[in-house]
Structure 1
Amino acid sequence: MRYAYGLEKPLSSVTIEEFPVAEPGAGPYALVTGPDGALWFTLVHQSGIGRLVPGAMPTVHRLEPDRGPTMITSGPDGALWFTEYRADRIGRITTDGVVTEFPLATPGCGPYGIAAGPDGALWFTATATDRIGRITTDGRVTEFPLPTTGAFPSAIVAGGDGGMWFTLNQANAVGRVGLDGAVTLHPVPTAAAAPVGITAAPDGALWFVEIGAGQLGRIRPGGEVEEFPLPDRTARPHAVTTDRTGAPWFTEWGANRVGTVTGDGTVVVHDLPTPGSEPHGITCGPDGALWVALESGALARVVPGHT
Structure 2
Amino acid sequence: MELFEVAEAGAGPYGVAVGPDGGVWFTLVHAGEVGRLSADGSVERFGLGAPECGPSVITVGPDGALWFTRMRDNRIGRVTVEGGVRSFAVPTEDAGPYGIAAGPDGALWFTELGANGVGRITVDGEVTEYPLPVAGAFPSMIAAGADGALWCTLNQADAVARVGVEGEVTVHRLPTGGTAPVGIAAGADGALWYVGIGGGLLGRITVDGKVTEYPLADRAAKPHAIAADGAGRLWFTEWGAGRIGVLTPDGRRDGYPIPGPGAEPHGIAVGPDGAVYAALERGQIARLAG
Which of 206, 229, 242 is the equivalent residue of 1:220?
206
SS in 2 for 1:260: strand
Which of 194, 203, 224 is the equivalent residue of 1:238?
224
Which of 24, 34, 52 is the equivalent residue of 1:39?
24
Residue type of the alignment partner of 1:297: G
Shift of 1:285: 2.2
Q: Quick one: distance in 1 between partners of 2:124 and 2:191?
A: 31
What is the match of residue 279 of structure 1?
265
What is the match of residue 9 of structure 1?
none
SS in 2 for 1:264: coil
SS in 1 for 2:289: strand
Q: Quick one: distance in 2 between partners of 1:57 and 1:303?
A: 18
Shift of 1:230: 0.6
Shift of 1:224: 0.5
Q: Quick one: distance in 1 between partners of 2:222 and 2:188?
A: 25
What is the match of residue 53 of structure 2?
67
Shift of 1:288: 2.1
What is the match of residue 83 of structure 2?
97
Alignment gaps of 5+ in structure 1:
1-15
Q: Check the 8 A contact 1:115/1:157 in 2, yes or no.
A: yes
Residue type of the alignment partner of 1:133: G
Residue type of the alignment partner of 1:280: H
Q: Quick one: distance in 2 between partners of 1:109 and 1:266?
A: 39
What is the match of residue 62 of structure 2?
76
Mapping of residues 166-181 of structure 1, within 5 Å:
166-181=152-167
Residue type of the alignment partner of 1:283: A
Question: 2:264 matched to 1:264?
Answer: no
What is the match of residue 186 of structure 2?
200
- Deviation string, structure 1 residues 182-241 (Cα, Å, up to 9, x no partner): 100111110011000000012111110000010000111010011111111011000000
SS in 2 for 1:213: coil
Shift of 1:246: 2.1
Q: Quick one: distance in 1 between partners of 2:8 and 2:230?
A: 31
Residue type of the alignment partner of 1:37: G
Shift of 1:243: 1.9
Residue type of the alignment partner of 1:245: A
4+ residue runs over 3 A deviation: none
Q: Quick one: distance in 1 between partners of 2:202 and 2:189?
A: 17
Q: Quick one: distance in 1 between partners of 2:204 and 2:272?
A: 25
Shift of 1:286: 4.4
Q: Quick one: distance in 2 between partners of 1:93 and 1:216?
A: 32
Q: CA RMSD in A?
A: 1.0
Shift of 1:276: 1.4
Aligned residue pairs, count: 289
Residue type of the alignment partner of 2:199: A
Q: Check the 8 A contact 1:240/1:249 in 2, yes or no.
A: yes
RCO (CA 8 Å, sep 6+): is it higher in 1 or 2? 1
Mapping of residues 121-132 of structure 1, within 5 Å:
121-132=107-118
Alignment gaps of 5+ in structure 2:
none
- Deviation string, structure 1 residues 254-274 (Cα, Å, up to 9, x no partner): 010111112221221121112
Q: Quick one: distance in 1 between partners of 2:271 and 2:189?
A: 20
- Deviation string, structure 1 residues 128-157 (Cα, Å, up to 9, x no partner): 111110011111111111111100000001
Q: Quick one: distance in 1 between partners of 2:112 and 2:52?
A: 18
